[in-house]
Amino acid sequence: MQAAERSLDQDLQLMLALAKEAGDLALSYTLTGGAEAWNKTGGKGPVTEADLAVNRLCLKQLQTARPDYGWLSEETLDDPAARAKSRVWVVDPIDGTRAYISGDPHWCIALAIVEEGEAVASVLYAPALSRMYSARKGAGAFLNGNAIHVSLRDAEDGLRLITNEGLVTHPAWKEPWPRVEIARPKPNATLLRMAHVATGEWDAALVLAEKSDWDLAAGTVLVHEAGGHATTHLGEAFVFNQAVPAQRSVLASGKALHPLLLRRLEVVKIPDPQARAAQPMPDQTKPVQTEPKRMSESAKTGKQLLHIVFGGELKDVTGVEFEDLSQMDFIGAFPNYQEAYDAWKSAAQRTVDQAEMRYFILHAHKLLDPATGDHHHV
């Protein structure tokens, strides 16, 4: 056995023991009245004292055992210098915190090793489900010590899919989906969705929204070693531990099904997170262009009609009452319906995985000027 493989096997045993200890720690809070919870700043979701306690335990043990490895965790402030190593621990102390808080058993502890951007070993433990998943590159994937394999489905019709409710009926799709069975309810934890694909219990898992590396690394090696593919919805291989530790989306499935879904999903536009990476300073020796941009010709010809494109999370997908008006997403104002429709479609396609998130076009035909009380028809 090569030294690198021997090292990964040792790391895998370390992760298995640590995941069990971390799971017991997380469960201990549920036996004593529950963990204190609060919302993270910036709308990044909830966190509990159990998340932080598990994070501290993992950080201490993993860095003690492998001080030469880098570190990336959801509950540790990202430090690019700390993960500038050939091998990096990627940890999600509790994936599925909302489920954990509510008493739903579909949450897990995820530990992974990323080597030169590739996930090469992982352990994923769901203590409330008594499920311990593990995988190492080239050595297969396992659930509670038994080998697992992805589904062999090779057709979309009858597909068993884990994704957000309402995705397949979203109005933005050019081509209607065939008969699809949607997981109801779906696991809150993205990693558990990937694990269900790895075992073949479900054919595919799809998230059409940006996910962080810690949401994907452990599940990626698990799916790959179970004989499947885990990529972005465009078929891009995940490269972990980049400048921005995130991926634009995730599609996990068996190999025969994967290209069929990629063909369907290619119309969905989701930005590459790496576009947010720090850009080089402009060349100060070059003159700066200060001439304002011209308005488009369509905005100057004919009578301007105001169309506003906006969206938000609905309280009920059958109505138009928004969950939180302070979190509305305003796409922009447009001079005609065609431009507004194009903007609406682009926004709608980005959120097909979020059934409660809907976008609308408001045709404003009357404006009120509060300063004068005048009404202006447009």
CA–CA distance, 171 with 68 (Å, rounded to integer): 50
CA–CA distance, 266 with 54 (Å, rounded to integer): 38
| Residue of 117, 71, 75, 67 lying closest to 92 (CA atoms) | 75
Rounded to 5°, the CA angle 108-147-17 comes to 45
CA–CA distance, 289 with 32 (Å, rounded to integer): 63
- 215 is an annotated ligand-binding site residue: yes
| Residue of 43, 184, 9, 23 lying closest to 95 (CA atoms) | 23
- 49 is an annotated ligand-binding site residue: no
- Please report which residue ranges of 73-119 form alpha helices under DSSP H: 97-102
Scanning the structure block, which residue is given the tokens 């370390």?
A: 14
Contact 136, 225 (CB under 8 A): yes
- How is residue 166 written in tokens? 């309402």
| Residue of 173, 185, 64, 198 lying closest to 122 (CA atoms) | 198
CA–CA distance, 345 with 239 (Å, rounded to integer): 29
CA–CA distance, 342 with 374 (Å, rounded to integer): 32
- 94 is an annotated ligand-binding site residue: yes
CA–CA distance, 20 with 124 (Å, rounded to integer): 10
- Buried b or exposed e, range 248-262, using 16+ CB within 10 angstroms: bbbbbbbebbbebbb
AA identity, residue 106: H
- How is residue 206 written in tokens? 């799809």
CA–CA distance, 199 with 222 (Å, rounded to integer): 9
Contact 190, 110 (CB under 8 A): no
Contact 348, 171 (CB under 8 A): yes
- How is residue 191 written in tokens? 């990693």
- Annotated binding residues for Mg(2+): 74, 92, 94-95, 215
- Annotated binding residues: 74, 92, 94-95, 215
